[in-house]
Amino acid sequence: MTADALSDVALSAGSDDKYRLLVEAVTDYAIYMLDPSGRVMSWNAGAARLKGYAPGEILNQHFSQFFTPEDREAGLPERALATARSEGRFESEGWRIRKDGSRFWALAVLDPIYAPDSGLLGYAKITRDLTERRNAEIALARSEQQFRLLVQGVSDYAIYMLSPQGMVTNWNSGAERIKGYAPHEIIGRHFSTFYSPEDREAGLPGVGLETALRDGRFETEAWRHRKDGSRFWAHVVIDAILDDDGALVGFAKITRDITEKREAQIALEQAREAVLQSQKMEAIGQLTGGVAHDFNNLLMVILGSLDLLKRRLPSDPRTAPLLDNAVQAAQRGASLTQRMLSFARRQELRLAPVDLNVLVQGMAELIDRTLGMRCKIETRLPLSLAPAQADANQLELAVLNLVVNARDAMPEGGEIEITGREAELPADNGLGLAAGRYVCLSVKDHGSGMDEATLERASEPFFTTKGVGKGTGLGLSMVQGTAEQVGGKLVLRSALGAGTTAEMWLPVATKPAGRPWPEEIGRAEFERSRALKVLLVDDDSLVLASTAELLDDLGHNVHVANSGAAALTLLEGQDLFDLVITDVMMPGMTGLEFAEVARARHSALPIILVSGFAELAPDTGQFPRLSKPFRRHEIERAINDAMPSPN
């Protein structure tokens, strides 16, 4: 029942018993009559319950006694009567007093009552107790104030409201700290201000609002922009705010700067990936090194036997090409094992100062034959370029691999640039190299280039983009292994459509470069040694037999042993040998252990270590070494180098 309706009931109470009974029955409202001066003329049950007075205690009393002393002093009762009389109604909320002196918050309505044919009869007064509602409103206001202070005090999160159209309507201190805008600079502007131009063009701000409206919530992580233009990685949540009727009021938006968290996560993932990659590379390296070692033994037998056959068979125009093809195939296999061992960082290296100008010029004919007619080489190496500390043979193989890759990247042909430069790298050089002087030898093509994903995997072993049967996938990994084994690094720079530049960073040699060894040296260039009594030690019977035949063909008297223990027995049981040649990787006693025992017993005995497994044949400085597979001229050179000069 409305206050106006109750006033009408009170007006007719004196003339109609039904309305009087109705008013008397109302207990939630105090409904009573005042005379023109403000004295109580009637009193219903609701008034008695609400204000605590029985009818006999309050009738003919002035209604001002229900007001607080402050309101009476301020003249509020008189003003209420005057307002109702002049304006036809007075309505207010305020504190009122019960009989026991307690206060309650009241909604009071005062309406004047006029007789149809005379003046003012009095006033109809309706009062309702709103204390509970007011307490709830006060509690709500206090809660909202506390929440507002809480939101404003949060500095780690940007918390603000958006209008249904996406306009910023408020701004907390966290938003100001994270995004750099003061409240007056951003309130009233669209929240798409925080997005990049590309994201705005793609309609991402609208997608966020539409999703929040449809699903009630939108959450994402993405780049956002500060006032100064800098970017930060943000975790964003947008919640749709609806009223009780389900109509959209706006959006609540919470943004957190998680750039540091993202960088830490990326660093952790990179470290985890690096560990996994390292473990994978180590496992592949161990497998590759073992396979390459065994393969070297097989090639040792094949190449040695072919060398002997070429020397012993009569010249036959039909047989000679077959032998040459077999030798070339075996040499190709040897090249493959060198790549595998270089990748595994187990390749035996002969480190020496290498003049890159001399090396590249010496490869010119080989490179021209390899490239064919469609590609041209442009070489720009300074004459004053310092020598690099490297293995000349391995470096040649690395350059050839890079040139072949450059050719394959330009199927229609083009120019390949080989350049060199020196650089003094500081400790924080960005390449992960130690501080010092380096030579950078680069091979650049103008081909299709590589995308980021391909570039990241380009140096992985067995990864190739050349198709099945067109590449081993070991070329770049071999180059990388060769560079890292001497303390350098392979750096690849590429982009789609912009070609590729492969840079080999090699440490500068501390000594000047000497003349590189030629691939083949005829016997005439050696000082032919006398016939020697040679002890040959190898656990592989095929390698032992093949090498013994090579030594016999060179005119030496060969005694063989298939283990270190057997070799020691021969050393003690016969006259002193002139030379010992021993394999390194043998079960039980290794070749190095045998050599150390033999040298301890026979200090002047020349000993040559033979192995293709560098990690198992460390350079002790006292034993010359020969890498498998070797050719006849190579073992002949090794013997000449190992034997003492005649007096």
> Across 310-386, where does the E strand assignment appear?
351-354, 375-380
pLDDT of 34: 93
Residue 307 has which token pair? 């060398």
Which residues lie closer than 8 Å to 640 by C-beta, 6 or more apart? 526, 527, 529
Rounded Cα–Cα distance for residues 483 and 433 (Å):
11
Rounded Cα–Cα distance for residues 148 and 151 (Å):
5
Other Cβ atoms within 10 Å of 640 Cβ, number: 12
Other Cβ atoms within 10 Å of 40 Cβ, number: 23
- Angle of helix 319-343 relative to helix 392-408, nearest 10 degrees, comes to 100
pLDDT of 518: 44
Query: Are the beta carbons of 557 and 617 closer than 8 angstroms?
Result: no
Which residues lie closer than 8 Å to 397 by C-beta, 6 or more apart? 335, 338, 339, 342, 478, 482
pLDDT of 427: 85
Q: In a 10 Å sphere around its CB, with 0-12 CB exposed, 13-18 middle and 19+ buried, how is residue 344 labelled? A: buried
Identify the CATH assignment for 523-642 out of 3.40.50.300, 3.90.320.10, 3.40.50.2300, 3.40.50.720: 3.40.50.2300
Beta bridge partners of 168: 162
Query: Are the beta carbons of 183 and 168 closer than 8 angstroms?
Result: no
Beta bridge partners of 417: 378, 444
Query: Are the beta carbons of 567 and 599 closer than 8 angstroms?
Result: no
Query: Are the beta carbons of 48 and 27 closer than 8 angstroms?
Result: no
Rounded Cα–Cα distance for residues 125 and 315 (Å):
138
Query: Residue 503: in which H helix or E strand, if any?
Result: strand 500-507
Rounded Cα–Cα distance for residues 358 and 338 (Å):
23
State the SS3 of 584-634.
Answer: CCCCCCCHHHHHHHHHHHCCCCCEEEECCCHHHCCCCCCCCEECCCCCHHH
Tally of CA atoms within 13 A in the half-sphere of 243 that contains its CB: 6
Return residue ranges of the chain for CATH 3.40.50.2300.
523-642
> Angle at Cα 467 formed by Cα 461 and Cα 472, nearest 5°?
35
Beta bridge partners of 94: 106
pLDDT of 524: 38
Which residues lie closer than 8 Å to 522 by C-beta, 6 or more apart? 633
pLDDT of 526: 44
Query: Are the beta carbons of 305 and 546 closer than 8 angstroms?
Result: yes
Rounded Cα–Cα distance for residues 396 and 362 (Å):
9
Q: Which residues in the chain show pLDDT less than 70?
A: 1-22, 24-26, 143-144, 146-154, 274, 277-293, 295, 331-350, 458-475, 511-529, 573-575, 612-621, 645-647
First to last CA, the chain: 135
Query: Residue 178: in which H helix or E strand, if any?
Result: helix 173-179
What is the DSSP code string of 505-542?
A: EEEBPSS---PPPPS---GGGS-PPPP-EEEEE-S-HH
CATH T-level topology, domain 154-257: Beta-Lactamase (3.30.450)
* Domain 349-507: CATH superfamily, name plus number: Histidine kinase-like ATPase, C-terminal domain (3.30.565.10)
Rounded Cα–Cα distance for residues 149 and 214 (Å):
30
What is the DSSP code string of 182-229?
A: -HHHHTTSBGGGGS-HHHHHTTHHHHHHHHHHHHSEEEEEEEEE-TTS
Ramachandran quadrant class, 436 (left: phi over 0; alpha: psi -120 to 50; beta: rest):
left
pLDDT of 225: 93
According to DSSP, the β-strands at 157-162 and 248-257 are: antiparallel
Q: What is the pTM of this model?
A: 0.42
Domain 3-135 class in CATH: alpha beta
Ramachandran quadrant class, 158 (left: phi over 0; alpha: psi -120 to 50; beta: rest):
beta
Query: Are the beta carbons of 179 and 171 closer than 8 angstroms?
Result: no
Tally of CA atoms within 13 A in the half-sphere of 576 that contains its CB: 10
Return residue ranges of the chain for CATH 3.30.450.20.
3-135, 154-257
Beta bridge partners of 31: 126
Rounded Cα–Cα distance for residues 597 and 600 (Å):
5
Return residue ranges of the chain for CATH 3.30.565.10.
349-507
